[in-house]
């Protein structure tokens, strides 16, 4: 068995690591036989020299197998599916999609994360529902999924512990952006859910981790090839994040938009289009529907029948939330004491938003974290967000700020005005779905 220095040297010199060497690295991350400095050195060597598909598959599986894996064989009467997004502002698609695909016959045990940087976290959104507990044991997840069809919960210590340690090392060694390490980090957790099919939503644009189409395509291709190599049917959509997705950004506000979507009160067109596109791939890939058109009809029927809303309500109640959330959301979802519209300073077309700046404005309102231990204010954020390309007369609102104080609201207004530009010429539009990879 090679010692850590030999494994580091091989990758430093541009060589490919064997399956056994990668397994030893993953084991070393969990049992301490790789020190922090050795793990950091190997992460940097991978960052600089990359990995083959076989190496990425081996690393993904080794990190997945460093913890417990869910196994649904013989327990469910349908396929197990999930989707993952690389993160964006206002991205609440998982909240809508889980009950929709469950209503179509799939099972979705989504292990979600918290907010990171300027992006909101699915767990933070759901925890704005009083009583909803994202902290569930694997035994509880195994018990509830057959009953509910969908579960959205937080990460547990039992899943992919090797990734948890490696991510912490990457975070302080400037190796977070490594595509092989991003791939293995995402997939080691997702594949531990016992999936039959996975759909990735890789964001691209000024609000995404991947700012260019080439970087987004490289990550999407890496994830698809690695997941398929690991035995899980996978597709990826590259979708636009040059503006906030939907009409809200902020935890309770996004839950309210989810409820409005599921019950048919309001469905913002871009958000609806992306949700259907991702859901259709999930149903086709898992064998529940023969083609995209049939899958979209099934998803739309799950909404129009009220079945998807029922699945969401059952999940919320089973995880500790109120049973009548859909009927009386205003009774439960926190409401900010200050609401202030941001008027357009001039007439014109709303140019593409500086999405990162708007996301950081939500963080500064208290809707995200500047450091890991920070408490989130679920009530704050933005609503009634005008989509890029809209024509606005002077004084018409760009969006509405929800804040905890007048001072915080005024600061957010200034940040919104700085992040949005209006001009007399129509803004260039970006396709919502740039590319589909299989």
Q: What residues form DSSP beta bridges with 110?
A: 152
What's residue 1's pLDDT? 81
Total domains in the chain come to: 3
**Mean pLDDT score across all residues of the chain:** 95
Residue that is written with structure tokens 């104080």 in the block: 405
Average pLDDT estimate for 238-258:
97
Average pLDDT estimate for 139-146:
96
Residue 374 has pLDDT above 90, yes or no: no
Same domain, yes or no: 253 and 369: no
Q: What is the pLDDT of residues 147-177, one digit of tens each?
A: 999 999 998 889 999 999 998 899 889 898 8
Distance, in Å, from the CA atom of 230 to the CA atom of 379, rounded to the nearest integer, reads: 41
Same domain, yes or no: 244 and 287: yes
CA atoms within 13 A on the CB side of 376: 27
Last residue of a domain, one of 264, 292, 318: 318
Average pLDDT estimate for 129-152:
96
What's residue 118's pLDDT? 72
Residue 29 has pLDDT above 90, yes or no: yes
Same domain, yes or no: 214 and 314: yes
Residue 119 has pLDDT above 90, yes or no: no
Q: Is 355 within a domain?
A: yes
What's residue 157's pLDDT? 86
Q: Is 72 within a domain?
A: no
Helix (H, G, I), strand (E, B) or coil at 120: coil
pLDDT level of residue 375 (50, 70, 90 thresholds): confident
Q: Which two tokens stand for residue 117?
A: 């940087």
The C-alpha torsion from 155 through 159 and 161 to 166, rounded to 10°, is: -60
Last residue of a domain, one of 254, 288, 318: 318
What's residue 116's pLDDT? 65
43-57, 104-118, 200-214, 396-410: which has the minimum mean pLDDT?
Answer: 104-118
Q: Is 66 within a domain?
A: no
pLDDT level of residue 57 (50, 70, 90 thresholds): very high
Same domain, yes or no: 270 and 359: no
Q: Is 149 within a domain?
A: yes
Distance, in Å, from the CA atom of 101 to the CA atom of 73, rounded to the nearest integer, reads: 19
pLDDT level of residue 331 (50, 70, 90 thresholds): very high
Average pLDDT estimate for 294-313:
98
Same domain, yes or no: 290 and 197: yes
Q: Is 175 within a domain?
A: no
Same domain, yes or no: 272 and 202: yes
The C-alpha torsion from 9 through 15 and 19 to 23, rounded to 10°, is: 30
Same domain, yes or no: 24 and 120: no
Which residue would you say has higher pLDDT here, 118 or 376?
376
Same domain, yes or no: 267 and 307: yes
Residue 190 has pLDDT above 80, yes or no: yes
What CATH number is attached to the domain comprising 13? 1.20.970.10
* Cα-trace Rg, the chain: 22
Residue that is written with structure tokens 């979708």 in the block: 239
What's residue 113's pLDDT? 82
Residue 308 has pLDDT above 90, yes or no: yes
Q: What is the pLDDT of residues 70-91, one digit of tens each?
A: 999 989 999 999 999 998 899 9
Same domain, yes or no: 13 and 86: no
Q: What percent of the chain is predicted at pLDDT more than 70? A: 99
Domain range spanning residue 85? 81-158+189-318
Neighbours of 393 (CB within 10 A): 10
DSSP string, 307-321: HHHHHHHHHHHHTTS
Average pLDDT estimate for 219-229:
98
For the chain, give me the number of helices (H) and strands (E)? 17, 12
Q: Is 60 within a domain?
A: no
What's residue 372's pLDDT? 67
Q: Is 298 within a domain?
A: yes
> Annotated active-site positions, please?
82-85, 122, 170, 185, 189-190
Distance, in Å, from the CA atom of 303 to the CA atom of 310, rounded to the nearest integer, reads: 10
Same domain, yes or no: 137 and 271: yes
What's residue 156's pLDDT? 86
What CATH number is attached to the domain comprising 297? 3.40.1030.10
CA angle 358, 363, 367 (to 5 degrees): 115
Same domain, yes or no: 218 and 106: yes
What's residue 176's pLDDT? 86
Q: Which of 324, 327, 334, 331 is nearest to 365 (CA)?
A: 334
What's residue 360's pLDDT? 94
| E-assigned strand segments in 260-364 | 338-343, 348-350
- CB 368, CB 386: distance < 8 Å: no
What's residue 122's pLDDT? 93
Average pLDDT estimate for 116-137:
89
Distances 375 to 370, 378, 405 between C-alpha atoms, Å:
10, 9, 17
Residue 428 has pLDDT above 80, yes or no: no
Residue 14 has pLDDT above 90, yes or no: yes
Residue 371 has pLDDT above 80, yes or no: no
What CATH number is attached to the domain comprising 371? 3.90.1170.30
Same domain, yes or no: 268 and 202: yes
Q: Is 433 within a domain?
A: no
Residue 361 has pLDDT above 80, yes or no: yes
Q: What is the pLDDT of residues 279-290, one digit of tens each?
A: 999 999 999 999
Residue 28 has pLDDT above 80, yes or no: yes
158-167, 301-310, 403-412: which has the minimum mean pLDDT?
Answer: 158-167
């Amino acid at each position: 068995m090679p010692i850590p220095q030999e494994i580091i040297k091989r990758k430093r010199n541009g060589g490919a690591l064997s399956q056994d060497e990668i397994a030893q690295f993953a084991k070393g991350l969990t049992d301490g036989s790789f020190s922090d400095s050795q793990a950091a050195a190997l992460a940097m060597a991978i960052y600089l020299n990359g990995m083959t598909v076989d190496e990425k598959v081996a690393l993904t599986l080794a990190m997945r197998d460093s913890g417990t894996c869910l196994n649904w064989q013989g327990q469910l009467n349908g396929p197990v599916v999930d989707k993952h997004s690389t993160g964006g502002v206002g991205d609440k698609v998982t909240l809508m999609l889980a009950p929709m695909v469950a209503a179509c016959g799939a099972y979705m045990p989504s292990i979600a994360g918290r907010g990171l940087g300027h992006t909101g976290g699915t767990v933070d959104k759901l925890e704005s529902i009083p009583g909803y507990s994202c902290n569930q044991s694997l035994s509880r997840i195994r018990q509830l999924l057959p009953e509910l069809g969908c579960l959205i919960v937080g990460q547990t210590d039992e899943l992919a512990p090797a990734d948890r340690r490696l991510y912490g090392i990457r975070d302080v060694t400037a190796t977070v952006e490594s595509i092989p390490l991003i791939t293995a980090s995402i997939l080691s957790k997702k594949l531990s859910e016992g999936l039959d099919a996975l759909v990735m939503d890789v964001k691209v644009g000024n609000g995404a981790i991947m700012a260019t189409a080439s970087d987004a395509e490289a990550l999407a291709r890496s994830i698809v090839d690695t997941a398929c190599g690991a035995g899980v049917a996978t597709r990826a959509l590259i979708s636009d994040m040059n503006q906030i997705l939907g009409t809200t950004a902020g935890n309770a506000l996004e839950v309210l938009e989810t409820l409005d979507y599921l019950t048919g009160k309001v469905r913002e067109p871009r958000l609806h289009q992306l949700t259907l596109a991702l859901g259709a791939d999930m149903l086709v890939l898992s064998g529940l529907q023969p083609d995209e058109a049939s899958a979209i009809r099934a998803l739309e029927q799950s909404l129009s029948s009220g079945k998807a809303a029922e699945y969401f309500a059952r999940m919320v109640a089973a995880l500790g939330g109120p049973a009548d959330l859909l009927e009386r959301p205003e009774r439960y979802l926190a409401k900010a004491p200050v609401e202030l519209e941001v008027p357009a300073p001039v007439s014109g077309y709303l140019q593409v938003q500086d999405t990162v700046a708007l996301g950081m404005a939500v963080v500064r309102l208290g809707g995200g974290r500047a450091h890991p231990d920070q408490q989130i204010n679920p009530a704050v954020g933005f609503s009634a967000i005008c989509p890029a390309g809209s024509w606005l007369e002077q004084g018409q609102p760009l969006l509405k700020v929800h804040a905890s104080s007048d001072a915080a609201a005024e600061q957010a207004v200034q940040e919104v005005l700085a992040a949005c530009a209006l001009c007399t010429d129509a803004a260039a539009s970006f396709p919502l779905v740039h590319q589909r990879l299989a």
